[in-house]
Amino acid sequence: MKLKVNAKLDPKFQPLSIVCREMREATQEDGQDLVIGIERNKGYTTTYKTRVYRDGTGHDEENFKFVERITKTLLWVAGGYKIIIAGSSVIGDKIKEAFSHDGLRDFDVKFMERVYEQPFVVEVRSLENAPVDKSAAAPIGRHLDGCRIGFDAGGSDRKVSAVINGESVYSEEVVWFPKINSDPNYHYQGILEAMKTAASHMPRVDAIGVSSAGVYVDNRIMVASLFLKVNDEDFEKTVKNMYIDVAKQIGENIPIEVANDGDVTALAGAMDLNDDSVLGIAMGTSEAAGYVDPQGNITGWLNEMAFAPVDYCEEAMVDEWSGDYGCGVKYFSQDGVIKLAPYAGIELDEALSPAEKLKVVQGLMKDGDPRAAAIYDTIGVYFGYAIAYYAEFFDIKHVLIMGRVTSGEGGVILLNRTQEVLDKEFPELSKKIQLHIPDEKSRRVGQSVAAASLPKIN
């Protein structure tokens, strides 16, 4: 694999975007078509069409490794409890084995079972019975009429806005500690208090929109780091329907819409840019993502790109939580910076927290240290190739780049290198995709207005 732009500190980096391109080229003359589908709640299905080597031509292992990486990505992009492989029983059977309890992707299977409250299955079909896309038809967001509450649940502060006809008439930020509290009543009262405060600044409440980190299905909280310390029994009993229950306290039959904060950030960016097809990536403690499609809709996909692979190299760093290699969290977060520090010749004190280690590198960057610059240069190369890979799954016109990792001079280096990769390696994408770093103030205000705009008033 020859790259036109090399990752300075990671010579073994094998971008999946190039792997996809090489697979298409290698199988042009004598390949076989394959369709991968992921089904989630209400039968919503997301598909990916590709081409692989013909079964039994000596490439079965290569086919499996490639399809497993794509399947894993699609699973974390769209979310679901059913994988459908159409076009090859050889590949399908291997995927079935991998995505099973105690199989290669045991973590992914159990995570999705928890989210969708369904046993995980893999179906193998003929190409004639290939799955087709089925998406949520109703657009979410950009509803600015009436009196609305926009609530943004962060890990260190909670923000709420009272929004009348698209204008924020009141906003407040309150420091809270949801991640260290095991009593769900702490969270409930905090959310209720915020909403009541916002409601007191309007003549009535017509709708409530919530932006929160985590996974949400039909406005229910399925997995969320805010409730880290809450035990499973309390989570099931009190947490799952918390936003729905709080809305009932504000008033009967008030429409509520709960969305992942990454999606709401992308929506805020789309509203600000007055355009669609927006992918937002935040590089902070982890990699967070959100997406607004070409119709201006939030898709209901998971967009958990932290768990989606970007590096095909089997020697790539393993994510401790999922147990998988080459995933986004180790490339586009503070972990990515820390991972590269020793290769740049920077020794970080092991006693420091990850956030403190990032600050050390940022301090060196501020002082003009070329070793720190090499880290951001490398992450920029990673990101350029990753955007091209993400474009396999998302129709993208704009990429919003946010988060602590992108702040300061390091962010400028990162962005320049990302652009260089797109220009040299993917000129067709370079013409189409624009990169943006939104300004923090407008992003924060925009986030609460975007959250408030989520529900449609009945």
Q: Are residues 271 and 413 in the same domain?
A: yes
- Between CA 226 and CA 298 the distance in angstroms is 22
pLDDT at site 403: 85
| For residue 142, pLDDT beyond 90 | no
Among 261, 296, 313, the domain-final residue is: 261
Among 197, 230, 261, the domain-final residue is: 261
**Which tokens in the block code for residue 193?**
């208090």
Q: What is the pLDDT of residues 215-231, one digit of tens each?
A: 998 999 999 889 989 99
Q: Are residues 278 and 214 in the same domain?
A: no
Q: Are residues 343 and 398 in the same domain?
A: yes
| Domain harbouring 415, CATH code | 3.30.420.40
Q: Are residues 308 and 245 in the same domain?
A: no
pLDDT at site 261: 86
Q: Are residues 362 and 254 in the same domain?
A: no
Q: How many domains does the chain have?
A: 3
| For residue 447, pLDDT beyond 80 | no
Distance, CA of 65 to chain centre: 23
Q: Are residues 305 and 247 in the same domain?
A: no
Q: What is the mean pLDDT of residues 292-318?
A: 93
The string of DSSP codes covering 12-47 is T--BHHHHHHHHHHHTTTTEEEEEEEEE-GGG-EEE
- Identify the band that residue 445 occupies on the pLDDT scale cut at 50, 70 and 90: low
HSE-CB of 117 using CA atoms within 13 angstroms: 12
Q: What is the pLDDT of residues 250-298, one digit of tens each?
A: 999 999 999 988 888 899 889 889 999 999 998 988 898 999 999 888 8
Q: Are residues 152 and 124 in the same domain?
A: no
- Between CA 341 and CA 385 the distance in angstroms is 21
- Between CA 281 and CA 362 the distance in angstroms is 20
Q: What is the pLDDT of residues 354-374, one digit of tens each?
A: 889 999 999 999 999 999 999
Give the phi and the psi of residue 236 in degrees, each rounded to 5: -65, -45
Q: What is the pLDDT of residues 35-78, one digit of tens each?
A: 999 999 999 999 999 999 999 999 999 999 999 999 999 999 99
Q: Are residues 391 and 302 in the same domain?
A: yes
HSE-CB of 352 using CA atoms within 13 angstroms: 14
Burial (Cβ within 10 Å: 0-12, 13-18, ≥19) of residue 67? buried
Q: Are residues 256 and 287 in the same domain?
A: no
User: 88-102, 180-194, 229-243, 295-309: lowest mean pLDDT where?
Assistant: 295-309
Q: What is the extent of the structural domain holding 153?
A: 147-261
Phi-psi region of 141 (alpha: psi -120 to 50; beta: other; left: phi over 0): left
Q: What is the mean pLDDT of residues 325-348?
A: 97
Q: Are residues 311 and 356 in the same domain?
A: yes
Residue 138 domain-assigned (yes or no): no
Residue 2 domain-assigned (yes or no): no
Residue 8 domain-assigned (yes or no): no
HSE-CB of 234 using CA atoms within 13 angstroms: 13
Q: Are residues 47 and 110 in the same domain?
A: yes
| For residue 157, pLDDT beyond 90 | no
Residue 453 domain-assigned (yes or no): no
Q: Are residues 274 and 414 in the same domain?
A: yes
Among 204, 226, 261, the domain-final residue is: 261
| For residue 388, pLDDT beyond 90 | yes
CA separation, residue 71 to residues 119, 216, 437 (Å): 18, 21, 30
Residue 5 domain-assigned (yes or no): no
pLDDT at site 441: 57
Q: What is the mean pLDDT of residues 303-323?
A: 95
- The residue ranking higher by pLDDT, 85 or 154, is 85
